[in-house]
Amino acid sequence: MEGEADGLFPREVFPRERTEVAPGAVHVPDWLDMEEQRELLAACREWAGPPAGLRTVRTPGGGVMSVRQVCLGWHWSAVPRCPDCGRAVRANPDCPGRHSYPYAYSRTVVDGDGAPVKPFPERLRALAGRALTAAYGSGAGAAPYAPDAPYDIALLNFYGDDARMGMHQDIDERSAAPVISVSLGDTCVFRFGNTETRNRPWTDAELRSGDLFVFGGPSRWAYHGVPRTAPGTAPAALGLKGRVNLTLRVGALDRPAPRP
Ligand SMILES: O=C(O)CCC(=O)C(=O)O
Ligand SMILES: [Fe+2]
């Protein structure tokens, strides 16, 4: 990283190391080399194009999120009521479909141009496999984190200089398979909390371009967010202004909802 901006923390003396931030939540610094980052970014730019491209995300309360987003495989959005039973309640065991509210996954961009969501790319399934091995290894220790269904959802978030993401749980998937997060561009503070509340205790990790963060097992339903990015810290060789984060998830949307 010689000659590049320092990010949010002082330049380190030692290389950054794989860190288990909480049980099952693993930060792998410098996971993708620059060539892989450039390739992935080029793909993200294609995915962000219309139809079903980059859009502003509405929140259930009528606001908008500061990140802009593209979904692959399944489209994630706020809904005024459950698309399957029509009720505006968090849980309805009697829903004849897969009950979802106030966010739901759908096959079309219901809050945008209405187009079918782009398919989940095979290359991201391969990337997910590599990510799990990087985070948990390939021995017996990895068994508790083995996905119970294929990775089939990718959410791409685009952060401009002032964008951030409040503390939330990734709760709309029906599988406890780990969430896999890959970051490109500007450095950010990734706040990783606990499964009980959106408040402390939490750990702040610095995610830089090429870093991997995976949270599964006891950390799968933990609150997390991005309180800030550091504009201008993207590696010059990447050619990106801002930050892109890609999360890979197992939807298993044919199942009833597990609630953490
Ligand atoms: O941008 C990030 O690092 C986190 C994104 C995230 O939490 C999400 O998409 O649910
Ligand atoms: Fe999230």
* Percentage of residues in the chain having pLDDT higher than 90: 90
Question: Which residue in 160, 224, 247, 229 sits closest to 188, CA to CA?
Answer: 229
Cα gap 257→15, rounded to integer Å: 41
Cα gap 74→201, rounded to integer Å: 32
What pLDDT was estimated at residue 9? 62
Least confident window among 2-16, 131-145, 147-161, 218-232: 2-16
Q: Which two tokens stand for residue 77?
A: 């959005």
Instruction: For residue 256, report the distance from its CA to the centre of ligand 2, in Å.
Output: 21
pLDDT digits (tens, 9 = 90+) for 239-258: 999 999 999 999 999 887 76
What pLDDT was estimated at residue 259? 54
Q: Is residue 257 part of a domain?
A: no
Q: Is residue 8 part of a domain?
A: no
Cα gap 123→140, rounded to integer Å: 26
The values of phi and psi at residue 179, to 5°, are -85, 130
Per the structure, the count of domains in the chain is 1
What pLDDT was estimated at residue 121? 98
Reported confidence tier of residue 2, pLDDT bands at 50, 70, 90:
very low
The values of phi and psi at residue 259, to 5°, are -115, 130
Query: Taking all residues of the chain, what is their mean pLDDT, rounded to a whole number?
Result: 94
Q: Kindly tell me if the per-residue pLDDT of 97 is higher than 60.
A: yes
Domain ranges, residue 224? 19-249
| Nearest-10 Cα torsion for 34, 37, 42, 44 | -170
Q: Is residue 12 part of a domain?
A: no
What pLDDT was estimated at residue 13? 76
Mean pLDDT of 125-153: 97
Which ligand 1 atom is at minimum distance from the Cα of 188? 3
What pLDDT was estimated at residue 256? 76
Cα gap 24→141, rounded to integer Å: 11
Q: Ligand 1 atom 2: the closest Cα is on which residue? A: 245
Mean pLDDT of 171-183: 97
What pLDDT was estimated at residue 88? 96
Contact 31, 130 (CB under 8 A): no
Reported confidence tier of residue 3, pLDDT bands at 50, 70, 90:
very low
Instruction: For residue 253, report the distance from its CA to the centre of ligand 2, in Å.
Output: 17
Contact 99, 257 (CB under 8 A): yes
Q: Kindly tell me if the per-residue pLDDT of 7 is higher than 80.
A: no
Give ligand 1 pocket residues (Cβ under 6 A).
155, 157, 165, 170, 181, 183, 190, 224, 226, 245, 247
Q: Is residue 94 part of a domain?
A: yes
Q: Ligand 1 atom 8: the closest Cα is on which residue? A: 247
Contact 214, 178 (CB under 8 A): yes
Beta-ladder partners of 243: 159, 185
Q: Kindly tell me if the per-residue pLDDT of 4 is higher than 50.
A: no
Reported confidence tier of residue 61, pLDDT bands at 50, 70, 90:
very high
The CATH number of the domain where 211 resides is what? 2.60.120.590
Q: Is residue 87 part of a domain?
A: yes
CA angle 133, 137, 139 (to 5 degrees): 120
